[in-house]
Amino acid sequence: MTESWRELRARNAINSTEAEGVVLSEETKQIIFAISLGEIDADTVVDEYLAALRSNE
């Protein structure tokens, strides 16, 4: 089975980021794929992340 262009875009983003020495967790990789495939909205992810940061202050 071949990857869709969305899956390829996600994989390329992950690979290029890791090639720069950044270690991505499996959860982060799953989020990148979910956003790329349109399964979740990027704005929602950012809102939830910022809310979590605020709650830890």
Confidence at residue 51, expressed as pLDDT on a 0 to 100 scale? 92
Q: Which residue has the higher pLDDT, 26 or 3?
A: 26
In percent, the amount of the chain with pLDDT more than 90 equals 86
In percent, the amount of the chain with pLDDT more than 70 equals 98
Give the CA-trace dihedral at 51, 35, 20, 26, to 10 degrees. 80
Q: Which sequence spans correspond to the domains of the chain?
A: 5-55
Runs of H (alpha helix) within 3-57: 5-19, 26-36, 42-55
pTM for the full model?
A: 0.75
DSSP state of 39: S
Contact of 18 with 26, CB cutoff 8 Å? no
